[in-house]
A and B are shown apart, each in its own frame.
Chain A
Amino acid sequence: MKSRMLQRVQLRASTATVARSRVAALGSVRAASSVSQRPNSEFVQFPGALKSAFTHSLNFENPESYKALPTYRVVDQHGVVVDSSFEPDISEQQVVKLYKDMLFISIMDLIMFDAQRQGRLSFYMVSAGEEAVSVGTSSVLDPEDVVFCQYREQGLFKERGFTTKEFMSQLFSNRNDPGKGRNMPIHYGSKKLNVHTISSPLATQLPQASGAGYALKLQKLQNPESKARVCAVFFGEGAASEGDFHAAMNIAATRSCPVIFICRNNGYAISTPTLEQYRGDGIASRGIGYGIDTIRVDGNDIWAVREATKKARELALQDGGKPVLIEAMTYRVSHHSTSDDSFAYRARVEVEDWKRRDNPLTRLRKWMETKGYWDEAKEKEARDALRKEVLREFSAAEREKKPAIKTMFEDVYDELTPGLKAQMQELRELIDNYPDEYDVGEFEGGKETLKS
Chain B
Amino acid sequence: MKRQVARQFRRALGTPRPVPAAALPLHASRCYSTHPPNAKLNLPIEYGSTPLLAHSADVVQKNIEIPIEVRNGATKKLNLFQAVNDALGTALAEDESVVVFGEDVAFGGVFRCTMKLAETHGSERVFNTPLSEQGILGFGIGLAAEGMRPVAEIQFADYVYPAFDQIVNEAAKMRYRDGSNGRGAGGLTVRMPCGGVGHGALYHSQSPESLFTHVPGVRVIMPRSPIQAKGLLLSAIRSNDPCIFMEPKILYRAAVEQVPVASYELPLSKAEVLKEGSNVTVVSYGQPLYYCVEAIRQLEAQRPDVSIELIDLRTVHPFDRETVFSSVKKTGRVMIVHEAYTTASVASEVAAAIQENPDTFNRLEAPVRRVAGWDIHNSLAFERFHLPDITRMYDNIKRLLDY
Question: Chain A: residues with CB nearer than 8 A to chain B?
Answer: 18, 22, 25-26, 29, 146, 177-180, 182-183, 187, 189-191, 196-197, 199, 201, 204, 206-216, 218-219, 221-222, 231, 243-244, 246-248, 250-251, 254-255, 407, 411-414, 417-419
Closest 5 CB pairs of A and B: A211-B142, A207-B138, A247-B135, A215-B146, A208-B142
Asked if B182 and A208 sit within 8 Å, CB to CB, the answer is no
9 A-B residue pairings within 8 Å (CB atoms): A25-B123, A26-B118, A179-B179, A183-B177, A197-B183, A208-B170, A255-B127, A414-B175, A417-B269
Tell me whether B329 is interfacial, beta carbon within 8 Å.
no
Hey, what's the 0/1 contact readout for B307-330 against A, CB within 8 Å counting as 1? 000000000001001100000000
Asked if B118 and A250 sit within 8 Å, CB to CB, the answer is no
Complex Cα distance, B123 from A418, in Å, reads: 41
Interface residues of B in 79-100 (CB under 8 A from A): 96, 99
Kindly list chain A residues whose C-beta atoms are within 8 Å of the C-beta of B150. Answer: 211
Kindly list chain A residues whose C-beta atoms are within 8 Å of the C-beta of B169. Answer: 199, 201, 204
Asked if A197 and B269 sit within 8 Å, CB to CB, the answer is no
Interface residues of B in 207-239 (CB under 8 A from A): 216-217, 219, 239
Kindly list chain B residues whose C-beta atoms are within 8 Å of the C-beta of A212. Answer: 142-143, 145-146
Which of B122, B139, B180 has its CB near the most chain A CB atoms (within 10 A)? Answer: B139
Complex Cα distance, B137 from A243, in Å, reads: 13
Kindly list chain B residues whose C-beta atoms are within 8 Å of the C-beta of A183. Answer: 177
Hey, what's the 0/1 contact readout for B144-174 against A, CB within 8 Å counting as 1? 1111101000000000001001100110011
- Say whether, besides A183-B177, A214-B143, A419-B318, A207 and B135 are in contact (CB < 8 Å): yes
Complex Cα distance, B240 from A196, in Å, reads: 18
> Among A231, A244, A255, which residue has its beta carbon within 8 angstroms of that of B138?
A244
Kindly list chain B residues whose C-beta atoms are within 8 Å of the C-beta of A255. Answer: 127, 129, 139
Complex Cα distance, B124 from A218, in Å, reads: 7
Complex Cα distance, B177 from A246, in Å, reads: 25
Question: Chain B: residues with CB nearer than 8 A to chain A?
Answer: 96, 99, 106, 118-119, 122-125, 127, 129-130, 132, 134-148, 150, 162, 165-166, 169-170, 173-184, 186, 216-217, 219, 239-241, 269, 318, 321-322
| Interface residue SS majority, chain A | helix
Kindly list chain A residues whose C-beta atoms are within 8 Å of the C-beta of B182. Answer: 191
> Among B99, B106, B183, which residue has its beta carbon within 8 angstroms of that of A196?
B183
Q: A-B pairs with CB below 8 Å: how many?
A: 174
B281 to chain A: closest CB distance in Å? 19
Kindly list chain A residues whose C-beta atoms are within 8 Å of the C-beta of B174. Answer: 197, 199
Asked if A201 and B165 sit within 8 Å, CB to CB, the answer is yes
B286 to chain A: closest CB distance in Å? 22
Name A253's closest neighbour in chain B (CB-CB): B130
Kindly list chain A residues whose C-beta atoms are within 8 Å of the C-beta of B321. Answer: 418-419
Kindly list chain A residues whose C-beta atoms are within 8 Å of the C-beta of B140. Answer: 211
Kindly list chain B residues whose C-beta atoms are within 8 Å of the C-beta of A204. Answer: 138, 165-166, 169-170
Kindly list chain A residues whose C-beta atoms are within 8 Å of the C-beta of B183. Answer: 191, 196-197
Kindly list chain B residues whose C-beta atoms are within 8 Å of the C-beta of A413. Answer: 216-217, 219, 241, 318
Name B121's closest neighbour in chain A (CB-CB): A22
B43 to chain A: closest CB distance in Å? 38
Kindly list chain B residues whose C-beta atoms are within 8 Å of the C-beta of A244. Answer: 134-135, 138, 165-166
Kindly list chain B residues whose C-beta atoms are within 8 Å of the C-beta of A197. Answer: 174, 177-179, 181, 183
Kindly list chain B residues whose C-beta atoms are within 8 Å of the C-beta of A182. Answer: 176-177, 179
Complex Cα distance, B150 from A187, in Å, reads: 26
Name A254's closest neighbour in chain B (CB-CB): B130
Asked if A196 and B129 sit within 8 Å, CB to CB, the answer is no
Asked if B148 and A218 sit within 8 Å, CB to CB, the answer is yes
Name B318's closest neighbour in chain A (CB-CB): A417
Kindly list chain B residues whose C-beta atoms are within 8 Å of the C-beta of A231. Answer: 142
B113 to chain A: closest CB distance in Å? 18
Asked if B179 and A177 sit within 8 Å, CB to CB, the answer is yes
Complex Cα distance, B127 from A26, in Å, reads: 10
Kindly list chain A residues whose C-beta atoms are within 8 Å of the C-beta of B134. Answer: 207, 243-244, 247
Complex Cα distance, B166 from A248, in Å, reads: 12
Asked if B119 and A26 sit within 8 Å, CB to CB, the answer is yes
A397 to chain B: closest CB distance in Å? 16
> Among B127, B130, B178, B322, which residue has its beta carbon within 8 angstroms of that of A250?
B130
Kindly list chain A residues whose C-beta atoms are within 8 Å of the C-beta of B173. Answer: 199
- Say whether, besides A251-B135, A411-B179, A413-B241, A215 and B148 are in contact (CB < 8 Å): yes
Asked if B181 and A190 sit within 8 Å, CB to CB, the answer is yes
Which of B145, B162, B174, B318 has its CB near the most chain A CB atoms (within 10 A)? Answer: B145
Complex Cα distance, B96 from A243, in Å, reads: 31
Name B353's closest neighbour in chain A (CB-CB): A419
Complex Cα distance, B241 from A417, in Å, reads: 12
Asked if A189 and B119 sit within 8 Å, CB to CB, the answer is no
Complex Cα distance, B34 from A96, in Å, reads: 80
Kindly list chain A residues whose C-beta atoms are within 8 Å of the C-beta of B141. Answer: 207-208, 211
B245 to chain A: closest CB distance in Å? 16
Kindly list chain B residues whose C-beta atoms are within 8 Å of the C-beta of A222. Answer: 96
> Among B148, B170, B181, which residue has its beta carbon within 8 angstroms of that of A201?
B170
B152 to chain A: closest CB distance in Å? 10
Kindly list chain B residues whose C-beta atoms are within 8 Å of the C-beta of A417. Answer: 269, 318
> Among B124, B165, B175, which residue has its beta carbon within 8 angstroms of that of A221?
B124
